[in-house]
Structure 1
Amino acid sequence: MTFRKVSHVLFDMDGLILNTEDLYMVGFQDVASRYGKVFTFELKTKIMGQQSKEFAGTIINELDLPLTVEEFLAETRAIFEKSFPDCKILPGVEKLIRHLHENNIGIGLATSSSKESYELKAVHHQELFDLFPYKTWGSSDPDVKRGKPFPDIFFVAANKFPEKPSPDQCLVFEDSVNGVKAARAAGMQVVMVPDPRLDRSLTTEATLVLDSVEDFKPELFGLPPYK
C-alpha cells in the first residue's frame, strides 16, 4: 500500500493523545444512572468527535433524559472538573509529537473539545501541548461551524499554518469514526487508532488503521523516520 507524502500533521486529542474517552464514558454513565439509563459503547461511538452541544443533545435524545442541553453539560462539567486533570498520555504519542517537532514538521491540534475542557485535560501535560504552535478547539472556535463528521475543524486547523498546506499535504491522527469521516471529507489522509472495542468494519474509511500510535512509521508518509 502506498501513501501520499505529507508536510503537516493534525492531531485529535481525546482518545488519541489522552485517555479521556474512558473518563467521558464514566462521567456520562454517572449522569445516565441517575435516571435509570445506560450509556452504551455504541452511543459513545456515535457522539465521538461531536461538539459539546451536539453530543449533549444526542445523549439526551437517545436516552430520553429529562434534561436540557445546558443542564446536562452543567452536570457533566462538575464531574469532569474532578476527573480530567488525572488523564494520561497514551502510548507512542509523546515520542511522535516530539519527533515531528524536532524535525520541524508542522503540527496542529484539532480537538472538538472546548478551550475550558482542554485546559483541564492539559494541566499536567503542558510541556507536551506547548509543542503545538496551533490549536483549534472545535466547541470554542466560532470558525468551526459544525462538529465532526463534517470537515470544518480540519479546514480551520490547516489554515492556521503559515504555509497554508493543501488538504493532500495534511495527515490526520484520529481515534473516532466521526473524526475519520471528517478528515476524509476534508480531503486528508487519516491514521486511525480506534478503541479495541470498536467493530473493525467501521474503520474502512481510514487510510491506515493501527492498534497503537507506537506502531506508526513516519516514513510511510514521507516524514523523517525515527532514528
Structure 2
Amino acid sequence: MNALVRTLLGIRRRTLPERPAPGAELAGATGLQVRLGGRAVLTGIDLTARAGEILALVGPNGAGKSTLFGALSGDLPAHRGSVRIAGRAAGAWTPAELALRRAVLPQTAVLSFPFPVAEVVRMGRAPWAGTEREDEDEAAVAEALAATGTAPFADRPFSALSGGERARVALARVLAQRTPLLLLDEPTAALDLRHQELVLRVCRERAADPQHEFLVAQV
C-alpha cells in the first residue's frame, strides 16, 4: 500500500500509541460489575495493570477470571462501574484502535484453515497494516517466533501441530502484535514444564526490558 493510498484512506492519520512510561496505567477497572445471562458474574472489581509489571489472576474454575479478561479487553461491556484502556474508557475506542493497544490470548486457539505457522503469527500484525509501523512486520514476526521456540516449524500447517505447539504459536501471534498490554488467559495450561518456564520467562523479559518497543503488563 503506497503512501498516497494510505493518505486517501486516512490510515496514516490514525493516532498510534506511544511507548508507555514505566508505571503508567495500561488498563484498569473501578467498581466493575459484569452480568451474563441476567446473573452478576463479577461485582465490585477494582484493578490496575501498569507498564512494566506482571499481574496474575488466581482463582478456581468459574471464579470469573475469563470474564474479567473479556471486560478488560473491551470485548465485554460493564453493567456497572468502568473499564479503562490507555487512560480512556474501553468503549470509547474503536476495535481497530483497541487492537493497537492490547493483545488478547484466549484459552484455546482454533483455525478452520491449514495456515502455515508463520502466517498465523503474521496475523498479529494486521492492526498495523497501512501505518508507518507496517515496516516492522518482518522483524516482529521473526522475533516472536524465536522467543517462543516456534521458528523451527514456521512452515508447517497450524492444524498439524500438537496442543502445546499451537499454544506457543498463539502466544507468538500476540507477541508479534507488539501492543503495550498483553492479556494472557491461562497461557501455560497446555504446556509441559519446560515450555511453561519459557512462557513465564518471555513475560518477565518483556515486562522488565526498557529497551523493548513496548513495556508489557500481563493480566
TM superposition score normalised by structure 1: 0.31
Higher percent of residues as helix:
1
Higher percent of residues as strand:
2
TM superposition score normalised by structure 2: 0.32
